[in-house]
Amino acid sequence: MVANVSLDGRTLIGVENSEGGTVSSETEFHFEQEENRLYAHYAGGEIVDGHLVGTLDGNRWDVRYVQLTADGETATGHSVGTVERLEDGRIRVEDDWEWESKPGAGSSVHEEVDR
């Protein structure tokens, strides 16, 4: 469990994703956090522009996202996950996601990178 972790100013990338997900290792999430509120802009790979907003309660995040892909598709979804600190101090998020604008669901892993 992560106590009082902040994602503010951190950059995470996708390291694993289920089939049907668009986040990849080329997708960078740039986070801001105010108290328990999370915000992120993300892009890379298939995703031209994405925005995430939600909450972080202890080690649990609950977020919604909206994105635009390179082929012009817009999509929205919901994700619930856990945040943990790796032995090297970086942040890792494991989440379960589901599209709200189209069929599909899965799980993904995001890890902090130095950017």
List of domains in the chain: 11-113 (2.40.128.30)
Query: What's the mean pLDDT in 46-50?
Result: 98
Sign of the torsion formed by the C-alpha atoms of 38, 12, 41 and 67: negative
> How far is it, in rounded angstroms, from Cα 96 to Cα 65?
13
Q: What is the pLDDT of residue 108?
A: 97
Query: What's the mean pLDDT in 36-58?
Result: 97
Q: What is the pLDDT of residue 2?
A: 44
Q: What is the pLDDT of residue 1?
A: 44
Indicate the pTM of the whole model.
Answer: 0.93
Q: Please check whether residue 44 is in contact with residue 27, taking contact to mean a CB–CB distance below 8 angstroms.
A: yes
> How far is it, in rounded angstroms, from Cα 39 to Cα 76?
15
Q: Please check whether residue 56 is in contact with residue 68, taking contact to mean a CB–CB distance below 8 angstroms.
A: no
Q: What is the pLDDT of residue 66?
A: 98
Q: What is the pLDDT of residue 3?
A: 56
Q: Tell me how far CA of residue 11 lies from CA of 28, 100, 113, in angstroms.
A: 7, 25, 6
Q: Please check whether residue 1 is in contact with residue 23, taking contact to mean a CB–CB distance below 8 angstroms.
A: no
Query: What's the mean pLDDT in 33-40?
Result: 97
> How far is it, in rounded angstroms, from Cα 37 to Cα 58?
12
Q: Please check whether residue 102 is in contact with residue 3, taking contact to mean a CB–CB distance below 8 angstroms.
A: no
Q: Please check whether residue 54 is in contact with residue 72, taking contact to mean a CB–CB distance below 8 angstroms.
A: no
